[in-house]
Structure 1
């Protein structure tokens, strides 16, 4: 019975558990809406003393109906002074955000009003101020949210673009957690079958066919995990911002292009070559996609130690780029295919094949060319197969709209639509645990024909890694399957 007991002992010691709370908690309070002057501010309490607090602040003798808005005079519990007239919403646990008794006070958003209500709550010994994130933490601990939903909520709060909002809402709705929960259930069942076979096969209670079924489950799960991981980090890029890097020779107009796109003087612009020494970056919203746009030092050989360091940093940033914008000055002797390719080769050599596959060629300063030269340049680019190419002028704004359209197309190709297909990985933490899970499944196949105990241990590790993502792991689930599927001990 070694592995059966091991199953109990190992799972009960998991670092990540399903933290369902059964002990009495403190009652906490905090301002849940944003700080500063506003029309309405929301102050929330959560915990067993929320009901008594509501009675003290409103003098109501009975609780209002749950989840219904009621107008109330909000009073100081010590002096009885009127603090404000606002709306009160009562949430009876477990049917609340945190799973506990909760109450929300919707008061006027003036600083004095908010401060007065918070001071009144703080004067009650049965309450204490909430720690950062404690309401959401209690929602997780009481089983109202898993960790992926918690992270989705955090991403939604910090979302700055439309596409970030969509991705965060989808994750907060539980789709990602449901996917990992389904995989976890498959592993639980497979592990339960192997444990049952190890412990009870000699009694003819478990047939050998169950092992073949486990092999099929593991093989299918491996393929699904591999496909899930081949996402080009779309979700992480969308969450953190796509790295877009401007590169090129000195005085090509990189800083000017940065300023035009960001619509403010982010970088210093001058006619002196090598003005930009360090990486200058700004965050922008391009068509609903978040980007981190970086201006870099001009690529050239220099004996100046500061400029050499700037060029080194520029090349390092180019290698990290998701999208590279190669800015070329069309007035710098560039009216032949050879000179065009030579300048491009100088830019490409900065990452030596390890850089981004998404490159946009921005031919700048076309306002200084004649119409005949522009037509010739467009024809030259088409014949050379240099796509996508954008002719533009940072001085007049010509071609900027087309450039932004091309950039948005690249962003859409990289990030995709977060509402389509399977939910994507949004956290480096998720990817780490998924890779560890996949590695354990690979080792399962290696041990399968040699040692079933080791195979079971690998499934246990794989299950633990998935549980670390959602925050929910339970030994009881495996025991339930062992007894229900095989009727052992009847």
Structure 2
């Protein structure tokens, strides 16, 4: 596609920095390079140039790299200016470039959007690229890199091709029912293939939660009675004073969250209000939020003060929990046998047992994301379309009218096509590309 205007933006990190990268894309790119750098730059070669304003005043000395379309990221002519990362330097360069007619500041995600519209990326690769930019842990990086490389798109395109082939065979049976060219066994093979495809999609859908854990993090919620040591443990694991610690019951009244990197996975740890029956209005709201948060957690860490009789705390049905005994450092020698009643025992004050707890959390997160190396759905959008596609396949399998069955398979293929952007998805584009930063 050809766009009437060219776009420019800072594509590197927050200023000031050692080096700043300003990216330019569009039909005015070559002219802009010649205007700012004095002459054109050789393709794909870093050239040291003096960059000047239109009045000839020097902006900075930096590297210029030119990528001719269509063999560039966006498919258009693209240039990158690598200059010193001072705010004034970058502001002056952007001002000089946008002063050229036909060049404007880019919107969030506009470079990647042009790459998509020019066929350089599909929607799944685009979303994976956003995940790669936002990756905080090694597992997130590997997962995003696998999908950004097109592996997930190939899976969905392969399924879509199977549906197209099945439709072709069915329509051939409809159109040439009296001919000998279409063996009777063909339809049997088609429906056998569709049953397997439906099963494959169902297995793929089942992996969504593992993919969600990799992208969003393994969700751990700390529960316990007031003064069970929740905030002390939370601070000890976070290695900072993230939550207020006090002897007064009910100090924590809202949800407090930190992210840990354990075994290369993101683990989201949430501190909650102490659970008890009698509480004031504000504390009661905090307790309600704690219970609601626990219902969606991947793991509940239930803390119990070992120096007192444990209160009766009801966990959500089907919840996975670790029972942790706290304040082990305060136990009298004759009470040491209590340790056997818990999965682990810890002391937020001395640090006893914290390494074991972190190791256990990392192991459980790793087990929950055991499918990290597989191709998994990465967005709720994917899940909705996969479920719809599977439902159409199932309807086709249970049908008796070939024309209606062929239409169901067409609708199933259309749903898979919408995942990668092979059919009209204009209503999704603004949402997807708005996730990107300005220079991407």
For the criterion TM > 0.5, the same-fold answer is yes
| Normalised TM-score (structure 1) | 0.83
What is the Cα deviation at residue 183 of structure 1?
0.8
Partner of 1:366: 328
**5+ long unaligned stretches in structure 2:** 425-440
Q: In structure 2, what is the equivalent of residue 414 of structure 1?
A: 368
- Give runs of aligned pairs for residues 107-186 of structure 1, distance below 5 A: 107-186=83-162
* Structure 1: distance between partners of 2:280 and 2:52: 70
CA offset digits 1:223-246 (Å, max 9, x no partner): 111111122611112211222100
SS of match in other structure, 1:119: helix
State yes or no: 1:394 paired with 2:360.
Answer: no
Confirm whether residue 462 of structure 1 aligns to residue 424 of structure 2.
Answer: no
Q: Deviation string for 1:189-210 (max 9, x for gaps)?
A: 1122223332343455544433
Which residue, out of 418, 424, 439, partners 2:391? Answer: 439
Structure 2 residue corresponding to 1:83, chosen from 59, 68, 79: 59
Q: 1:203 to 1:362 in 2, by over 3 A?
A: same
Give me the whole-angstrom Cα distance separating, in 2, the residues matched to 1:410 and 1:138.
41
* Structural RMSD (CA): 1.9
Partner of 1:480: none
Partner SS for 1:311:
helix
- State which of 43, 48, 52 in structure 1 corresponds to 2:31: 52
Distance (Å, rounded) in 1 between the aligned partners of 2:99 and 2:58: 15
Write the mapping of 1:21-420 to structure 2, written as runs, cut at 5 A: 21=1, 23-60=2-39, 62-64=40-42, 66-76=43-53, 78-202=54-178, 206-231=182-207, 233-302=209-278, 304-333=280-309, 343=311, 346-347=312-313, 349-351=314-316, 353-355=317-319, 357=320, 359-374=321-336, 376-378=337-339, 380-381=340-341, 389-416=343-370, 418=372, 420=373
Cα deviation digits, residues 130-172 of structure 1 (max 9, x gap): 1110000011111111111111110111111222111111111
Match of 1:11 in 2: none
Q: Which runs of 5+ in 1 are unaligned?
A: 1-20, 334-338, 475-490
Deviation string 1:82-120 (CA, Å, 9 cap, x unpaired) is 211111111111111011111111111111111111001
- SS of alignment partner, residue 175 of structure 2: helix
Indicate if the aligned counterparts of 1:236 and 1:428 stay in contact, CA closer than 8 A: no
Counterpart-to-counterpart distance in 1, 2:20 and 2:168? 51
CA contact (8 A) 2:207 2:371 kept: no
Deviation at residue 415 of structure 1 after TM alignment: 1.6
CA contact (8 A) 2:23 2:78 kept: yes
SS at match of 1:233: helix
Pairs aligned (count): 424
SS at match of 1:267: coil
